[in-house]
Structure 1
C-alpha cells in the first residue's frame, strides 16, 4: 500500500507542477547611458514601483533613490524598498530606485581635493 501511495502522489504532483505556467519575477531593467563629463558609458539599473503603470493614480509622483554600487546593492535593495513601502503600514512611500554601476571606484567615490582657504 505504501508503494501505491508513492506512485499516486508522484503522478499527481507531476501533473500539477507541469501544468502550471512559469511566471518571471522582474525587479528592474538595465540601461546604458553615455556620460559626456566622464566620457564613458555608464550602466544603470532602474526599478519602478508596482503602481507605476496604474493610470488610476493621477498624478503619480514617486521619489527617486540613487543607489551607488548598483552592481552589488540593486537586487536586495529593491526588494527591501518594496517591502517597507507596502500598505497599509508603509514606512516609506513607493519609490523609483536607480542603481549606478561603478566603473572606477576610487575616482567615482573619492572626494576631490580642496584647496586651503586662508581666513
Structure 2
C-alpha cells in the first residue's frame, strides 16, 4: 500500500465518528505497521488543518497511548495550543457581541445582516 494513501486513511478513520471494532482494528494495524510514516501523517494533517481533530479523534477512541511517544506529544501540544487559541477567539467574539449590544446593534438571523 502507498504510504500516502495509508496516512490519509489513518487520518480520516481517526477523525471519523465511527467507533466500530473494524475501525479501531484498522487504526491499531496502521499504528503497528511499517506504513506508519508519522512525519507524513503530521504533514497531511497540518496541510488540511485537522491536526487538533486528529488528536481528539484518537483520544476519543482511546488510541493515543498506542502512538509513538514523540508523535503523541506533538499532537497533544498542537491540540493544547488550538484549545488556547479557540478560547481567545471566543473571548474576543463575546467582547464584540457585548459592544454591539451596548450600541443597540442586533444580528438579523434571517438576512444574515446587522441592523440598527
TM-score by length of 2: 0.22
Q: Which has the higher contact order (CA 8 A, sep 6+)?
A: 1
Higher percent of residues as strand: 1
Structure with more helix by fraction: 2
